[in-house]
């Protein structure tokens, strides 16, 4: 067997192994993210800190809505479908409120169109696992950003929003982790 053939087979095996690991592990959804991060670090506490946070939260909600729409289309679990409907309803309402803040505080009525689109893949037996993993990771990102803005903003509305996000997403994350444990025996 020639060295070229051996090296070619090794490379092909590596690529196949990487592909199998990529699609079969619980971390699948988090690796499906595009390079841009919706809730990027907010930077210094300047007069636009709240505007950056509002845009980040809007992008965060748009990602959640996108995930929820995929779940409504592909999941057969009633719990996932109910959660997805709740996400869409509450996040759409929240976006309206955040846009009102932007307009009032910054005269900024621009829509946020740039957000993470996570492709959860086909409707197979691990679809719900990918959804749960993506949503858990998504919650972690928002919780960290809420902590960051809590130390930088002086607006009561923003501080209350960050506190509400932190509390509600922690509770929701515990439910998602319990479902993941119950359905897939993953902690």
Give the pLDDT band of residue 10 (cuts 50, 70, 90).
Answer: very low
- CATH number reported for the structural domain that contains residue 150 in this entry: 1.20.1260.10
The pLDDT, as a whole number, for residue 7 is: 46
* Other beta carbons less than 10 A from residue 130's beta carbon: 26
Structure token digits, residue 70? 């995929």
Q: What is the 3-state secondary structure (H, E, C) of 118-174?
A: CCCCCCCCCHHHHHHHHHHHHHHHHHHHHHHHHCCCCCHHHHHHHHHHHHHHHHHHH
pLDDT averaged over every residue in the chain: 85
The domain of 65 spans 3-184
**Half-sphere exposure in the Cβ direction for 146 (13 Å, CA):** 21
What's the length of the chain? 187
Q: What is the pLDDT of residues 79-119, one digit of tens each?
A: 999 999 999 999 999 999 999 999 999 999 999 999 999 99
Task: Look at the chain and report how many structural domains it folds into.
Answer: 1
Q: What is the pLDDT of residues 48-80, one digit of tens each?
A: 999 999 999 999 999 999 999 999 999 999 999
pTM over 0.85: no
């Amino acid at each position: 067997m020639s060295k070229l053939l051996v090296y070619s087979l090794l490379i092909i095996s590596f690529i196949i192994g990487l592909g199998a690991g990529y699609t079969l592990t619980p971390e699948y959804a988090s690796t499906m993210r595009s390079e841009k991060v919706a809730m990027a670090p907010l930077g210094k506490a300047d007069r636009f800190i709240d505007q950056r946070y509002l845009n980040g939260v809007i992008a965060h909600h748009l990602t959640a809505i996108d995930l929820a729409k995929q779940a409504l289309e592909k999941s057969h679990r009633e719990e996932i479908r109910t959660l997805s409907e709740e996400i869409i309803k509450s996040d759409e309402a929240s976006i309206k409120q955040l846009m009102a803040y932007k307009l009032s505080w910054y005269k900024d009525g621009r829509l946020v169109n740039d957000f993470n689109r996570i492709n959860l893949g086909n409707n197979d037996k691990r679809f719900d696992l990918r959804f749960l993993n993506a949503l858990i990771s998504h919650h972690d990102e928002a919780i960290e950003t809420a902590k960051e803005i809590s130390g930088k903003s002086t607006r009561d509305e923003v501080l209350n929003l960050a506190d509400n996000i932190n509390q509600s997403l922690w509770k929701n994350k515990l439910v998602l982790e319990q479902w993941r444990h119950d359905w897939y025996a993953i902690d």
